[in-house]
Structure 1
Amino acid sequence: MRRTKEESEKTREDLLNAAVRIFSEKGVARSTLDEIAKAAGVTRGAVYWHFENKTQIFEALHERLHRPFVDMILEDLEKDHPEPMVQLRDLCIQIMLDLEKDEQRQQTLILFFMKSDYSGDLAPYKDKHREKKAESMRLFKRYIEKAKKAGKLNTQADPELLTQCISCFMKGILFEYLDNPEGFDIENKAPKLISLFFNTLELEKH
């Protein structure tokens, strides 16, 4: 029974991995379940065992991308760190270093970040994915609020604005890396860039 469950979970992961490749190559609208099944090395029936349609696969891919990220932040927020902004800096660096080691995550990010226009059947998912993004932003904001409460930031510092600044900066690094992984040494550059950015936030203490 356990083996059957493990096999089922592996099949689901294989289907999601295959879907990333097919969706990226052809677009979600022009992709078919048959193509995804063939790329995963399974039958069409195996696809329907796990997913009703392409949009359900699309949503499952986004959840697989989003949920571990949120869980990572929630676990980190449980730690009692004396310097919340340093804690947030280290988290941002770790996110980038983990990405460099995870090709599937890279390909999924490219799909959602660069190749999805949320048209047609995908339109209803645009607001859902925006809400998930907002969830991540709220979690980042908690670090800044902790820092401000602990006197580590200027009392006039705007947590909302700083959260948006960090989000935009991280997106910039992501785009540069995903657009040209061979030409952007994320393992070397990301820690330096992120540290430089957070050093500028030291000005907010005064």
Structure 2
Amino acid sequence: MARKNAEEKQETYRKLLASASTLFLEKGVATTTLNEIAQHAGMTRGAVYWHFENKYAIIMALWEEGAGAVHKDFMTALKNLGDAGTAAGFHEVAHSVLRQVLDDPAYSRSLRILMHCVEFSDVQTPLNEFLMQKQQDYVDGLTSAFKQVRQMGGVRSELSDRTLASGLLSFLFGMIHHHLEPCGHINLPRDGAALLDIYLNGVLVYE
């Protein structure tokens, strides 16, 4: 019985996240209510509050479900390049993000919700703090990778590792941002790799 209840709770959780994802993409986060999420999932508002404190918690859960594992793996790869700690190894890890966006619908959907459906303001919220921490993770991971590659003579730029990391993050996720827009200014499948190489080839030295 306990196992059945746990499975039912998990199924309810997944249905609520799926409904929230659909509505956020259709209407945006600000105009989607918890009642609408519950109704879309065929449940009561109480079911929503059983699993989530508010919409911020839902968005963070959507990120963890769709992007959490990818984010963790990417951070691990960046901070532990090991024998692949060459410019070519770093190049491969950076390009893996583009492939993930193109090949993993759950990951790209999570990024699209965060990039295009969430409103940001100067007010510090739990969601803002959560997203700022994820962004800091990216900067720290990329900085660590640039440091490893520089120690092996693979960085040609005199800019600091952190500056190069921030620049790459802006370039990479800027492309992804435009790719995920409805108007789609960037053809990521066709041009993404070549565009990313414009940045990487300008700062890295390949053996």
Band the TM-score falls in, shorter-chain normalisation = 0.7 to 0.9
For residue 109 of structure 1, the aligned residue among 104, 111, 118 is 111
Contact in 2 for aligned 1:55/1:122 (Cα 8 Å): no
Secondary structure, counterpart of 1:81 in structure 2: helix
Q: TM-score, normalised by structure 1?
A: 0.80
Matches for 1:27-106 after TM superposition, within 5 Å? 27-65=28-66, 67-76=68-77, 77-106=79-108
Amino acid across the alignment from 1:150? M
Change (3 A) 1:56 1:147: same
Contact in 2 for aligned 1:110/1:178 (Cα 8 Å): yes
Runs of 4+ aligned residues of structure 1 deviating over 4 Å after TM superposition are 1-4, 119-122, 180-184
Residue equivalent to 1:147 = 149
**Deviation for aligned residue 1:55:** 2.5
Change (3 A) 1:199 1:104: same
Distance in structure 1 (CA, Å) of the matches to 2:154 and 2:64: 34
Change (3 A) 1:122 1:156: closer
**Deviation for aligned residue 1:162:** 0.6
Q: TM-score, normalised by structure 2?
A: 0.80
Residues 13-49 of structure 1 show CA distances to partners (whole Å, capped at 9, x for unaligned) of 3212211222333333332222112222334343232
Matches for 1:154-193 after TM superposition, within 5 Å? 154=156, 156-180=158-182, 184-193=186-195
Contact in 2 for aligned 1:118/1:125 (Cα 8 Å): no
Secondary structure, counterpart of 1:152 in structure 2: coil
Task: Give the number of equivalent residue pairs.
Answer: 204
Change (3 A) 1:7 1:149: farther
Amino acid across the alignment from 1:18? S
Amino acid across the alignment from 1:125? L
Residues 115-166 of structure 1 show CA distances to partners (whole Å, capped at 9, x for unaligned) of 3223599744323321221122101111101011222224844101110110
In the alignment, structure 2 segments of 5+ residues that lack a partner are: none
**Deviation for aligned residue 1:168:** 1.1
